[in-house]
């Protein structure tokens, strides 16, 4: 079943050059306050100006459900429930949030976390410390791929039938061979994984 949910972002001329993320509305959830200025600097470096930062998982989830962003970046170790649990709750939520692009970040990357994130419906996992290049690469990959969503009795999220869960960090090779989904994919009814303008750096 597919529906169309409008966003304020456009995808144009993707092959012309670098992506313009200036219209992307992003939410960032991390209870480690010292990391917020770092993330703010990274987002400014990506020309992302519309963002909301959260320290608390419960408040973040409530706000996101009321006013969904276009993209969510969430740390795995937030409290009172972790980033994987937040991902699972959003995937089980209403149509305005369940198709949201979700990037899980972590300071303690390991294969089991990648597997949990995949099973909760995260699009990708990125290890801290993040660089401008790695964050840009992961965000634009998620937006560009527009992976279809699937629903089974035990899973709702991006199609897992690709061989690897997008992951940057130690043990990338070990994390590459993840389990696959079993149901036919659906189109992303939200349409939020596309809709970003691309502009050439050589303009």
Q: What is the dihedral of CA 100, 60, 81, 166, to 10 degrees?
A: 30
CATH for the 20-175 domain, from 3.40.605.10, 3.80.10.10, 3.30.70.600, 3.40.50.2300: 3.40.50.2300
Write down how long the chain is.
203
- pLDDT value at position 194? 33
In whole angstroms, how far apart are CA 51 and each of 44, 156, 165, 187? Answer: 10, 26, 26, 27
Averaged pLDDT for residues 47-52: 97
Q: Please state, in angstroms and rounded to a whole number, the distance separating the CA atoms of residues 17 and 98.
A: 30
Are the CB atoms for 134 and 45 separated by under 8 Å?
no
Instruction: Using pLDDT thresholds of 50, 70 and 90, give the confidence band for residue 42.
Output: very high
pLDDT at 191 over 60: no
Domain spans in the chain, listed from the N-terminal domain onward: 20-175
- pLDDT value at position 18? 82
Tokens matching residue 77: 């170790």
State the DSSP H helix or E strand holding residue 124, giving kind and residue range, or none if neither: strand 124-127
pLDDT at 7 over 80: no
- pLDDT value at position 160? 78
Among the listed ranges 15-24, 38-47, 151-160, 185-194, which one has the minimum average pLDDT value?
185-194
pLDDT at 17 over 90: no
Q: Model-level pTM?
A: 0.75
Instruction: Using pLDDT thresholds of 50, 70 and 90, give the confidence band for residue 146.
Output: confident
Q: Which residue has the higher pLDDT, 199 or 73?
A: 73
Q: What percent of the chain has pLDDT over 70?
A: 71
- pLDDT value at position 16? 52
- pLDDT value at position 185? 38
- pLDDT value at position 165? 52
- pLDDT value at position 1? 32
């Amino acid at each position: 079943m597919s529906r169309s949910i409008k966003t304020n972002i456009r995808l144009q001329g993707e092959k012309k050059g670098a992506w313009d993320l200036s219209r992307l509305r992003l939410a960032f959830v991390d209870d480690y306050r010292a990391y917020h200025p770092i993330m703010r600097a990274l987002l400014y470096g990506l020309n992302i100006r519309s963002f909301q930062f959260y320290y608390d998982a419960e408040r973040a989830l409530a706000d996101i459900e009321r006013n969904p962003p276009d993209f969510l970046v969430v740390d795995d170790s937030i409290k009172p429930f972790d980033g994987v649990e937040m991902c699972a709750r959003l995937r089980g939520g209403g149509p305005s949030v369940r198709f949201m692009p979700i990037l899980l970040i972590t300071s303690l990357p390991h294969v089991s976390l990648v597997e949990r994130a995949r099973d909760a419906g995260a699009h990708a996992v990125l290890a801290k410390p993040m660089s401008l290049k790695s964050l840009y690469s992961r965000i634009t990959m998620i937006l560009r791929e527009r992976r279809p969503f699937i629903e089974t009795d035990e899973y709702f999220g991006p199609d897992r039938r690709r061989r690897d869960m997008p992951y940057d960090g130690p043990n990338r090779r070990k994390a590459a061979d993840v389990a696959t989904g079993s149901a036919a994919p659906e189109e992303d009814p939200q349409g939020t994984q596309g809709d970003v303008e691309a502009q050439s750096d050589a303009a």
